[in-house]
Structures are given as structure tokens and as C-alpha cells.
Amino acid sequence: MVRTPLTPEERERGERLGQLLREARGGRSMIEVAASAGLSAETLRKIETGRAPTPAFFTVAALAGALGLSLDEVLARCSAVPA
């Protein structure tokens, strides 16, 4: 199965998600946050660095819960920025 290339907007949204997660994580370790979300630290690292810019909804929801973020906040912070 060939994957459709990501659009620039999808890449930017992934970068905003990564930045939000890094900020929300604060001083907590990547391993601690990933474990509390039921993910591997490598998965969290890929999302935070933009190497996985389109994570599954349930992955985002698990991370939001582990970091005390509402999904509304994640959506608001990661949506396209008005031009």
C-alpha cells in the first residue's frame, strides 16, 4: 500500500502538536509520559519531533490524558493558523 504524501498543512499541524506536547510535558521525562499514556518513548519522540506528524486519534487522546490536556485544547492549538 502506497502512502499519500503529506501536505504542508499536515506537516505544520504535526509540528504544532509536537510543540504542544513538549511544552505540556515540561520537566517530566519522555519515558514517564509515554508509559502513563501506554506508548513507547520512541513513539512519543517521533510525534514530538514531527517524524510522525499524523498520529492516530487514540494516541493523541492517550497523550492528552497523560498530560492533563483536553482534546478541545489540543484541537485549538494544532488547528490551522488563520492566514
Output the pTM of the full model. Answer: 0.88
Handedness of CA 39, 42, 45, 50 (dihedral sign): negative
pLDDT at 73 over 50: yes
The total of other beta-carbon atoms located within 10 Å of residue 29's CB is: 10
The contacts of residue 43 (CB under 8 Å, 6+ apart) are 34, 52, 55, 59
Whether the predicted pLDDT of 33 surpasses 70 = yes
CB neighbours of residue 58 within 10 Å: 9
Mean pLDDT of the chain: 92
Domains and CATH numbers, the chain: 8-78 (1.10.260.40)
